[in-house]
């Protein structure tokens, strides 16, 4: 039997807020999301994690966090053996949509909030209708925090939270997107995250994961669900992740956060700071 700890209580799903951290702290542990931001742009990483600049989330990010919070409660309820009905889902959704204490509220334009909210709810309803996960399937784990000390490889501690582990050791990660994802690109662009999850799962259970599922909730006018399946992480992927973590530590210790202008800038919340950076 898998020995995951109990999941967090029902109310503990408020998004964590960033705050400034020292380079020493940021190189003593590493997570897939920090690695992802660092890979996108060193300056963005610096502004978010080192300087701790707080920004209101974009509408897309707010929708993503709300969907994630609702699906977390949906998974937790199944873990407890009492699945949520439609009314309970609606109540969780309303609570998750609000701005958490201490967060910067979004400056919505006139009809924007109502439209985004309706879209988020439609995406969740589509997922609950089309999910491949049977309602009576008890998860192995939900929102499990795990860490693995990589000191024997000369690397920091890898930390992370597994959204959901299905029966039989299938790791599930929920994502929201505005476009229908291409499976090949999904496997490529999520490799840091999926390989990290695989290592964390192995650390927590002493077993190898049976596979990884990426559940993309696509925010089209008519929302849809696209599930991309990856096999267990390979040795080559693990080596690649270790090499990347090594480069991350070296780069942060150089303390030279250069910008990387590119396509990603259109979604970057730090464009204003970036334009006056020197
Ligand atoms: S605007 Fe672009 S270059 Fe500047 S911090 Fe953001 S991602 Fe980096």
Asked if residue 4 lies in contact with residue 138, where contact means CB atoms within 8 angstroms, the answer is no
Residue 273 CA to ligand 1 center (angstroms) comes to: 9
Residue-level pLDDT at 83: 92
Atom of ligand 1 nearest to the CA of 271: 1
Domain membership of residue 261 (yes or no) is no
Report how many domains make up the chain.
1
Residue-level pLDDT at 28: 98
182: left (phi over 0), alpha (psi -120 to 50) or beta: beta
Domain membership of residue 57 (yes or no) is yes
What 3-state class would DSSP assign to 102? Answer: coil
Residue 196 CA to ligand 1 center (angstroms) comes to: 25
Instruction: Please provide the average confidence, as pLDDT, over all residues in the chain.
Output: 92
Q: What percent of the chain has pLDDT over 90?
A: 85
Supply the range of the domain harboring residue 34: 23-255+267-275
Q: Is 264 in the pocket of ligand 1 (CB under 6 A)?
A: yes
Kindly report, residue by residue over 215-246, the tens digit of the pLDDT.
999 999 999 999 999 999 999 999 999 999 99
Asked if residue 180 lies in contact with residue 192, where contact means CB atoms within 8 angstroms, the answer is no
Domain membership of residue 2 (yes or no) is no
Asked if residue 194 lies in contact with residue 173, where contact means CB atoms within 8 angstroms, the answer is yes
- What are the tokens at 144? 């499990």
Kindly report, residue by residue over 100-117, the tens digit of the pLDDT.
777 888 889 889 999 999
Domain membership of residue 3 (yes or no) is no
The ranges of the chain with pLDDT < 70 are 1-18
Domain membership of residue 262 (yes or no) is no
Q: State which H helix or E strand residue 36 sits in.
A: helix 32-40
Domain membership of residue 184 (yes or no) is yes
Cα–Cα distance for residue pair 171/209, rounded to 1 Å: 7
Domain membership of residue 17 (yes or no) is no
Cα–Cα distance for residue pair 83/81, rounded to 1 Å: 6
CATH number at residue 92: 3.90.320.10
Residue-level pLDDT at 18: 53
């Amino acid at each position: 039997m898998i020995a995951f700890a109990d999941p967090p209580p029902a109310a503990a799903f408020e998004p964590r807020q960033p705050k400034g951290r020292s380079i020493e702290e940021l190189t003593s542990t590493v997570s897939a999301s920090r690695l992802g931001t660092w890979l996108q742009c060193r300056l963005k990483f610096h502004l978010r994690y080192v300087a701790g600049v707080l920004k209101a989330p974009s509408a897309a990010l707010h929708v993503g966090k709300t969907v994630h919070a609702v699906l977390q409660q949906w998974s937790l309820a199944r873990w407890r053996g009492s699945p949520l009905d439609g009314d309970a889902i609606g109540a969780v959704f309303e609570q998750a949509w609000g701005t958490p204490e201490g967060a910067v509220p979004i400056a919505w334009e006139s009809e924007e909030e109502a439209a985004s909210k309706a879209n988020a709810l439609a995406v969740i309803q589509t997922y609950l209708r089309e999910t491949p996960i049977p309602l009576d399937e008890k998860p192995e784990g939900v929102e499990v925090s795990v860490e693995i000390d990589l000191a024997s490889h000369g690397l920091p501690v890898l930390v992370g939270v597994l959204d959901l582990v299905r029966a039989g050791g299938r790791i599930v990660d929920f994502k929201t997107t505005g476009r229908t994802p291409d499976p090949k690109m999904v496997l490529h662009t999520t490799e840091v995250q999926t390989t990290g999850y695989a290592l964390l799962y192995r650390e927590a259970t002493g077993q190898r994961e049976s596979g990884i599922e990426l559940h993309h909730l696509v925010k089209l006018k008519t929302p849809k669900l696209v599930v991309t399946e990856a096999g267990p992480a390979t040795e080559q992927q693990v080596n690649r992740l270790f090499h990347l973590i090594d480069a991350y530590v070296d780069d942060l210790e150089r303390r030279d956060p250069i910008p990387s202008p590119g396509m990603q800038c259109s979604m970057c919340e730090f464009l204003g700071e970036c334009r006056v950076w020197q």
